[in-house]
Amino acid sequence: MAIGTGDKAPEFDLEEDHGQPRVRLADYLGRSNVLLVFHPFAYTAVCTEEALDLQENLASFRNANTEIVFVSCDASAARQAWKRELGAEYTFASDFWSHGAAAKQYGVFNEDNGAPIRGTFLIDKDGIVIWSLVKDTSTQRTEMVPESLDTLRTKA
């Protein structure tokens, strides 16, 4: 079962790039909100649309003191290559090893294909999920931006 609104967000420990500091929820607590976005695979049409939508709205999230962490189980090298190709300026993190650990903690890991389902969690500075959206269909784009930004505006 997926983590929901009002739940304490589980800690995550993800690799962004080999040899660089890891991406952890603890690093954001007390200083910024986090939009944690799980998606199935890099280099796919629907996931690319979502990544570009997040990039287009990055200034709005940052103005709301919110950092985006975009996560799949692809290896970090592939994620960073895809990030550069897209021109994205937010965190592309890898849940590759241990395989799917963060996705499992958030209840969005699909054991059948070894990848996350689409799950978005807006976590406030205190580590509480203040908005979430989970979709178990991999062919449908998740419209997470309008509702998550509305939640941030309401909380401010």
Catalytic residue list: 47
Q: Are 117 and 40 in contact (CB under 8 A)?
A: yes
CA distances from 113 to 40, 73, 77, 108 (A): 9, 11, 21, 12
CA distances from 120 to 124, 133, 136, 150 (A): 13, 5, 12, 14
Question: Distance between CA atoms of 47 and 38, rounded to whole angstroms?
Answer: 10
Angle at which helices 45-56 and 76-86 pack, to 10 degrees? 60
Closest CA to 141 of 35, 57, 45, 4: 45
